[in-house]
């Protein structure tokens, strides 16, 4: 999985083993991405495919 913000800046990446469900630990990944945002920036929407 790849977490990025507008402008294409990557804020987090999660490489999973091939036998791990695509929907496994998505909320934890989103929380990790939010924690990487600069002070004063906020998370207000997400684009997630069918595994989300």
Q: Is residue 52 part of a domain?
A: no
Q: Is residue 18 part of a domain?
A: yes
Q: Is residue 51 part of a domain?
A: no
The alpha carbon of 49 is separated from its chain's Cα centroid by a whole number of angstroms, namely 12
Confidence of residue 51 (pLDDT cuts 50, 70, 90): low
pLDDT, residue 18, reads 80
Q: Is residue 20 part of a domain?
A: yes
Q: Is residue 10 part of a domain?
A: yes
Each residue of 9-43: pLDDT tens digit? 888 888 888 888 777 888 888 888 888 888 888 77
Q: Is residue 7 part of a domain?
A: yes
Structural domain harbouring 24 = 2-35
3-state secondary structure of 29: helix
How many domains in the chain? 1
Q: Is residue 11 part of a domain?
A: yes
Confidence of residue 52 (pLDDT cuts 50, 70, 90): low
Mean pLDDT to the nearest integer, 38-52: 76
Backbone φ and ψ of 36, nearest 5°: -90, -10
């Amino acid at each position: 999985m790849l977490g990025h913000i507008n402008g294409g800046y990557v804020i987090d990446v999660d490489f999973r083993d091939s036998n791990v469900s695509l929907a496994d630990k998505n909320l934890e990944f989103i929380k990790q991405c939010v924690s990487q945002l600069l002070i004063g920036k906020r998370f207000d929407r997400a684009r997630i495919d069918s595994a989300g």
